[in-house]
Amino acid sequence: MSNESLYIRHNQAYSAKLFPYAPEAFKAFGEFNKQALAAGALSVKTKELIAVAVAHITGCPYCIEAHVNKAKDQNASLEELVESIIVATAVNAHSVFYNAINALNAYQGGEAGGELYARNNLEKIEEVEKLNEAQYTSFTAFVHQALQPGLLTAKEKILIALASSHITGNAYSIEIFSRQAKEAGITLEELAELILVATALKAGAALAHRVNAQQAFDREQE
């Protein structure tokens, strides 16, 4: 069995192979991606910091490499990138943890037909806390610390957190970080732009992996 890499670092040749089969759609996505990451209410650097962070949730190595380089072009330091990655890590964990509310409801035999993501379910996190207070405390301390200002401001970190929650798609996390974003003075224009960056990265990760699909398609059966 071949030990060739499933990821092709210099993949331009493979990237172009599927273009002729859906040229207008590929062009449309390219333009959307360009606009989503252009300067607006948020700077290009801020958008690239968001992009690097959320790429670590999608796990797309092509996206990580591309946006680390673009962030570097915007004079982002490695330390700033690491801070953005820590925020994404915290939000990813936050989304997993808050799904414990759903686990609690399922275990306790919630009402059939009840709302799966009722907003008042957030109050049940206290029940989860009581099940293991030590771990709950250490977890919440990590999330709190990840969002504290450092090289990145508190506002930049909450922008990254809210974008990250749109990658995880957890309704509880989106609710919590949206509230915090509003309290931090983030505008609706900034909100719209961070969501579009997250959208571009989530869709872009899928599109970037066309290289893997094409590589598999071209490979002779072993």
Mean per-residue pLDDT for 143-168?
Answer: 98
Number of domains in the chain: 1
Mean per-residue pLDDT for 76-88?
Answer: 98
In a domain, 220, yes or no: no
The pLDDT assigned to 144 comes to 97
The domain that holds 154 is classified in CATH as 1.20.1290.10
Mean per-residue pLDDT for 31-44?
Answer: 98
Task: Tell me the average pLDDT of the chain.
Answer: 91
In a domain, 152, yes or no: yes
Mean per-residue pLDDT for 167-176?
Answer: 96
Tokens of 61: 């190595």
Cα separation of 175 and 98, whole Å?
A: 11
Tokens of 140: 């919440």
> Sign (positive/negative) of CA torsion 158, 43, 36, 15?
negative
Mean per-residue pLDDT for 124-145?
Answer: 93
In a domain, 205, yes or no: yes
Mean per-residue pLDDT for 63-89?
Answer: 97
In a domain, 72, yes or no: yes
Lowest mean pLDDT among 6-10, 72-76, 207-211: 6-10
The answer, yes or no, to whether residue 112 has pLDDT greater than 80, is no
- Domain range for residue 171? 22-214
> Which residues have CB under 8 Å from 70's CB, separation 6+?
37, 48, 51
The pLDDT assigned to 81 comes to 98
In a domain, 134, yes or no: yes
In a domain, 5, yes or no: no
The pLDDT assigned to 69 comes to 97
In a domain, 4, yes or no: no
Q: What percent of the chain has pLDDT over 90?
A: 72
The pLDDT assigned to 15 comes to 73
> What 3-state class would DSSP assign to 8?
coil
8 A C-beta contact, residue 71 and residue 81? yes
157: exposed, middle or buried (Cβ count in 10 Å: 0-12, 13-18, 19+) = buried
The pLDDT assigned to 222 comes to 52
In a domain, 139, yes or no: yes
Closest CA to 210 of 20, 57, 4: 20
The pLDDT assigned to 9 comes to 62
- 210 pLDDT band, cuts 50/70/90, is confident
The pLDDT assigned to 221 comes to 55
Radius of gyration over every alpha carbon of the chain, rounded to an integer in angstroms? 20
The pLDDT assigned to 14 comes to 67
